Homo-oligomer: A and B are copies of this chain.
Amino acid sequence: MNNTMINAFDPTTLDQLDPVSRALVDRRLQVLGPAYRLFYEQPLHLVRGSGVWLYDADGQAYLDAYNNVASLGHAQPDVVRAIAEQSATLVTHTRYLHAGVLRLAERLLATMPSALGQVMFTCTGSEANDLAYRLARSVTGHTGVIVTNLAYHGVTDSVAEFSPSLGNGVPLGAHVRTVPPPDAYRGERDVAGAFARAVTAAAADLARCGHGLALLIVDSIFSSDGVYADPPGCLAPAVAAARAAGGLYVADEVQPGFGRTGETFWGFQRHQVVPDLVTLGKPMGNGYPVAALVAQPRHLERFGREARYFNTFGGNPVAAAAANAVLDVIERDALMQNAHRVGRALRSALWELAQRHETIGDVRGAGLFIGVDLVTDRDSKTPHRALTSTVVNALRERRILLSASGPGGNVLKIRPPLVFEQSHADLLVSALDEILNADRSGSA
């Protein structure tokens, strides 16, 4: 068993589950095999969702503060209707003409800097990052990749080679170098400078080893590294360093994209940089499998001349209808503005909590992507992995869902649907307060 996954169910505790869950876990082990993982000490058996709520088989409601796919809320009716209607009308592919996919591409491009002019559709973020790697090699003639220490970019063979968060059992490629994320809490004071210097050094090492730099790829919110958002602009010098070494800059917006970070529609926009390639995924269809790569057109020229790209389901009429509906709802319901407002208030409330709880070392993030860094003490800033696990599972007992990230497994990852309201944030904060109080009194 590879234990690098935070908040994973431990199958050796199977006997302690209720009979229904146990039977389901048994069937999973039997027919899905050993590579699958479940969340939580007590896995959740969910049967229904609506808005920010998920319901288990007993009808118990759980406040979802974690799922960033159903970003407009679970079973969002406009998206469900779009999927149902288009499925009943036509599902084909991009080798026939269809207006839906073109409208989607044009709308996505309208949210981005003008240099980003073309879109290619895939089904998953992994496929989008895989295509980004193919394109970066085609453009630069190099093979090297720079990622952050605990980055996750996907599960295809090539992308897993530059996804260190998959753990030591999945080796990094010989052409891959890792750099520490821009960490304003434990890192150097000059966050942007330190990040840029690390990229320069990694690029030099790649060059020395004969690889050359094809791309620097970063998740603009550094989700699996432990959530890092500030200071805004701190990516810019690293992007310049990557370009100086001949590489492209790929913004992985699978996690932070579609308004989640509150101030801007895309995470990279907070950092005042213009990517060469941008990859999109998870919330793009509010649960429908659709993803994309957005490119500066000059980067597609050679690839388009030498190769072709066809993804059977990528950009099909239903995918386009779902993603167009998602864009409609984000705009109509001002969800980015909601993420900004509720996220800011939630971070403030968490900082207030930190006044009373020394174990909260840091609160950070942007919009509704928030990290709470739990420590044994504030001087050493030592990651408090045990407390984090206690908190995640105690919140689950109080029927509030979230998880954790970071190399110390000690950063609460708060990433609710964008329809999260102040009242939901209040529930989360007061439950967290209770749990941290109980921990101090030794009864958590």
Q: How far is the CB of A126 from chain B (nearest CB, A)?
A: 7
Find chain B residues with CB under 8 A from A77 CB. 88
Which of A77, A155, A288 has the most chain B CB atoms closer than 10 A to its own CB? A155
A24 within 8 A of B: yes
Residues from chain B with a CB closer than 8 A to the CB of A98 are 45-47
Residues of B within 8 A of A61 (CB): none
A87 and chain B: residue at smallest CB distance: B80
**Chain B: which residue is nearest A36 at the CB level?**
B94
| CA–CA, A21 and B282, complex, Å | 32
User: By the criterion CB–CB under 8 Å, are B306 and A170 in contact?
Assistant: yes
Cα of A46 to Cα of B318 in the assembled complex, Å:
13
**Is A240 an interface position by the 8 A CB rule?**
no
Interface size bracket, A side: 35 or more
Partner of A38, one of B43, B95, B125: B95
| A126 with B311: CB separation less than 8 A | yes
Chain A contacts with B in 285-333, Cβ cutoff 8 A: 286-290, 295, 297, 300-301, 303-314, 316, 318-319
| Interfacial chain B residues near A119, Cβ < 8 Å | 31-33
Interface residues of A in 1-27 (CB under 8 A from B): 1-2, 5, 21, 24-25, 27
Q: Are A307 and B166 in contact (CB under 8 A)?
A: yes
**Copies of this chain, whole number:** 2
Interface of A is mostly: mixed
CB-based contact A287/B316 at 8 Å:
yes
Kindly state whether residue A389 has any CB partner on chain B within 8 Å. Answer: no
Q: Could you say which of A66-74, A222-230, A244-252, A357-365 contacts chain B? A: A66-74
Interface check A167, CB cutoff 8 A: yes
Rounded to whole angstroms, the CA-CA distance of A123 and B46 in the bound complex is 21
**B38 with A305: CB separation less than 8 A:** no
Residue of B nearest to A39 (CB): B95
A91 CB to closest chain B CB (Å) equals 3
Distance between A302 CB and nearest chain B CB, rounded to angstroms: 9
Q: Mind listing 13 A-B residue pairs with CB under 8 Å? A: A2-B305, A31-B102, A32-B102, A38-B95, A75-B89, A87-B287, A124-B124, A124-B127, A131-B155, A157-B157, A157-B159, A287-B316, A289-B316
